[in-house]
Amino acid sequence: MESLKGRDLLSLADLSADEIQELLHLAAQLKAGEVNLRCNKVLGLLFYKASTRTRVSFSVAMYQLGGQVIDLNPNVTQVSRGEPLADTARVLDRYLDILAVRTFKQEDLETFAKYAQIPIINALSDRGHPCQVMADLLTIQECFGSLAGVTLAYVGDGNNMANSLLLGCAMVGMNVRIATPLEYQPDADIVEQAQAIAGERTEVMITDDPKAAVKGAQVLYTDVWASMGQEESANARIPIFQPYQVNEQLLSGADSKAIVLHCLPAHREEEITDAVMEGPRSRVWDQAENRMHAQKALLVSLLGAD
């Protein structure tokens, strides 16, 4: 995709609806082995937060494309000693071809994008997780054949996943319903942005009623109740979020062919029961695998193929 070459991906809002569809098509082709693209470049991973799927999927994707990966652990680089992000960005720009950053503040990603000319990828921030949603959309498309008109219900914390699902679903013509406790809703500006994108053609619902959100939905999605950096409040959140647990009773209100997704890691018997996680409706492991395929398509598109 020449239209993406050299660009940053800090949010799904950085893409058009057509570009998302093209990325998903390329990801499906790469997964099926229908195309064999090479990208002999160097990817840097600068992760301030713990990671399993994002770190490994990006690494394997880049290796399979013929490129190399440098893991830039912040604890052993000068950023841990207070080097300004702008300085780090300008130096890494001279060494790398592309950089994926996993951090807390969205503003840090914007600083990297401002001071580095290479593409910067949001590998997760407190505001969004666009790479995860690309894998989610690929998984849903595999299950239902298309995305338009499919209804996704997300129940739990109105976190970065809720924010990105709002944008991603609205952009591809999916109905999206977010059910959270009133004090834990997603960012208001992102809700407004998703509503503007959806217009009259698709539904964007924000509610505190998980049963209303799930009713008739084809996709039931959840995430942990306390994200990284919120561990101190985890125990206090459990009674607040208990009505939002994805269990067999809640799933029974969804469409009879509904699938269940979770971006992982999961706290089993908290936000999702073991029975649902391991049940016939779960597509969690396909979803996790698709991180690699979706990110491979993104890397090729941002860097260009050899």
Q: Are residues 170 and 260 in the same domain?
A: yes
In this structure, are 143 and 68 located in the same domain?
A: no
SS3 for 119?
coil
- The answer on 139 and 277 residing in a single domain is yes
Find out whether 101 and 119 touch, Cβ atoms under 8 Å: no
Statement to judge: residues 298 and 265 lie in one domain: no
Residue 79: the pLDDT is 86
Residues 33 and 107 in one domain: yes
Catalytic residue status for 263: yes
CA distance 292 to 58: 6
> Same domain, yes or no, for 206 and 81?
no
Quote the number of domains for the chain: 2
pLDDT given at position 1: 66
Alpha carbon 171 to its chain's center: 14
Q: Which of 53, 127, 129, 281 is catalytic?
A: 129
> C-alpha angle 290/186/272, rounded to 5°?
55
CB 194 within 8 A of CB 204: yes
103: left (phi over 0), alpha (psi -120 to 50) or beta: beta
Nearest to 140 by CA among 30, 53, 245, 220: 220
Same domain for 74 and 32?
yes
The CATH number of whichever domain residue 122 belongs to comes to: 3.40.50.1370
Torsion angle in degrees (nearest 10) through CA of 129, 130, 135, 139? 100
- pLDDT at position 3 is 85
Write down the pLDDT at residue 76: 87
CA 42/CA 283 separation, integer angstroms: 32
Q: One of 131, 132, 157, 218 is an active-site residue; which one?
A: 132
**Active-site hit among 8, 126, 157, 223:** 223
DSSP 260: E
Q: Return averaged pLDDT per consecutive 10 residues of the chain, 306 residues in all.
A: 90 97 98 95 96 98 98 90 95 98 97 98 98 98 98 98 98 98 97 97 97 98 88 86 98 98 97 98 98 98 92
Per the annotation, the verdict on 132 as an active-site residue is yes
How much is the pLDDT for 306?
A: 79
State which residues form the domain around 265: 132-287
Residue 119 and residue 217 share a domain: no
Same structural domain for residues 276 and 151? Answer: yes
Indicate if 131 belongs to the active site: no
Q: Which helix (H) or strand (E) holds 130?
A: helix 130-144
Are residues 10 and 124 both part of a single domain? yes
Q: Are residues 269 and 151 in the same domain?
A: yes
Per the annotation, the verdict on 78 as an active-site residue is no
Q: Which of 169, 291, 293, 295 is catalytic?
A: 291
Identify whether residues 84 and 178 lie together within a single domain.
no
Tell me, what's the pLDDT at 42?
98
Q: Which of 245, 263, 283, 293 is catalytic?
A: 263
